[in-house]
Amino acid sequence: MNNEQLKEKIQSIDSTINIVEGKQYLELNVVAENLSKTALMLKNNADLSFDYLICLTGNDLPDAYSVVYHLESTKHNHLVVLKVKADSRENPVLDTVSNIWITADFHEREVYDLIGITFTNHPDMRRIFLDEEDWIGYPLRKDYTDNNIITR
Amino acid sequence: MENIITNNSIQQEEYIVNMGPQHPSTHGVLRLKISLKGETVENIEPHCGYIHRGIEKMCERLTYQQIIHLTDRLDYLSAHTNNEAVCLLVENALQIEVPERVKYIRTILDELTRLASHQLWWCAFGMDLGALTTYFYGLRDREKILDIFEETTGARLLQSFNVPGGLMNDIHPNFIGRVKEFITYFRKKLPEYDELLTGNVILKERTTDIGLLTLEEAINYGVTGPSGRASGFACDVRKHHPYSAYDKVEFKEILYTKGDSFHRYKARVEEMWESMKILEQLIDNIPEGDYAVKMKPIIKLPEGEYYQRVEAARGEFGVYVLSTGEKYPYRVKFRSPNFSNLSAINKLGAGHKIADLVAIGGSLDLVIPDIDR
> Exposed, middle or buried: residue B203 (CB in 10 Å: 0-12, 13-18, 19+)?
buried
All residues at 6 or more sequence positions from B258 whose CB lies less than 8 Å from its CB, including other chains: B212, B230, B231
pLDDT surpasses 70 at B301:
yes
Tell me what pLDDT residue A152 has: 61
Would the CB atoms of B307 and A52 count as touching at under 8 Å? Answer: no
Name the least confident of A5-14, A19-28, B227-236, B282-291: A5-14
- What are the sequence ranges of the domains in chain B? 2-372
Tell me the Ramachandran region of residue B222: left when phi exceeds 0, alpha when psi lies from -120 to 50, beta otherwise. left
Handedness of CA B325, B328, B329, B330 (dihedral sign): negative
pLDDT surpasses 90 at B184:
yes
Name the least confident of B21-25, B210-214, B292-296: B21-25
Residue of A52, A77, A139 lying closest to B57 (CB–CB)? A139
Tell me what pLDDT residue B39 has: 85
Question: Tens digit of pLDDT for each residue in B272-287?
Answer: 999 999 999 998 888 8
Q: Which residue of A has its CA nearest to B47?
A: A128
Q: Phi and psi for A101 in degrees, rounded to 5? A: -120, 115
Would the CB atoms of A51 and B219 count as touching at under 8 Å? Answer: yes
The two beta strands, B315-323 and B331-335, are antiparallel
In chain B, % of residues over pLDDT 70: 97
Tell me what pLDDT residue B8 has: 54
Residue of A53, A114, A151 lying closest to B222 (CB–CB)? A53
Mean pLDDT computed over B20-45: 83
pLDDT surpasses 90 at B200:
no
pLDDT surpasses 60 at B9:
no
Q: CB of A152 within 8 Å of any CB in chain B?
A: yes
Alpha helices in B64-132 (DSSP H): 64-71, 79-94, 100-128
User: Residue B184 and residue B55: Cα distance in Å, rounded?
Assistant: 39
Question: Tens digit of pLDDT for each residue in B105-160?
Answer: 999 999 999 999 999 999 888 888 888 888 898 899 999 999 999 999 888 888 88
All residues at 6 or more sequence positions from A90 whose CB lies less than 8 Å from its CB, including other chains: none
pLDDT surpasses 70 at B2:
no
Tell me the domains of chain A and their CATH numbers.
3-91 (3.30.460.80)
Tell me what pLDDT residue B1 has: 46
User: Residue A62 and residue B80: Cα distance in Å, rounded?
Assistant: 34
| R_g over Cα of chain B | 22
User: Residue B48 and residue A127: Cα distance in Å, rounded?
Assistant: 10
Predicted TM-score (pTM) of this structure: 0.87
Chains A & B: contacts with CB separation below 8 Å = 83
User: Residue A85 and residue A73: Cα distance in Å, rounded?
Assistant: 23
Q: Which residue of A has its CA nearest to B30?
A: A129
Question: Tens digit of pLDDT for each residue in A81-129?
Answer: 999 988 888 888 898 988 889 999 999 999 999 998 999 888 888 888 8
Q: Which residue of B has its CA nearest to A146?
A: B57
| CATH 1.10.645.10 holds for B2-372 | yes
Closest of B322, B363, B327, B329 to residue B344, by C-alpha: B363
What rounded mean pLDDT belongs to chain B?
A: 87
Would the CB atoms of A54 and B316 count as touching at under 8 Å? Answer: yes
Tell me what pLDDT residue B117 has: 92
User: Residue A58 and residue B101: Cα distance in Å, rounded?
Assistant: 37
Closest of A50, A59, A94, A80 to residue B333, by C-alpha: A59
Question: Tens digit of pLDDT for each residue in A27-79?
Answer: 888 888 888 888 888 888 888 888 899 989 999 988 889 999 999 998 888 88
Closest of B316, B311, B254 to residue B107, by C-alpha: B311
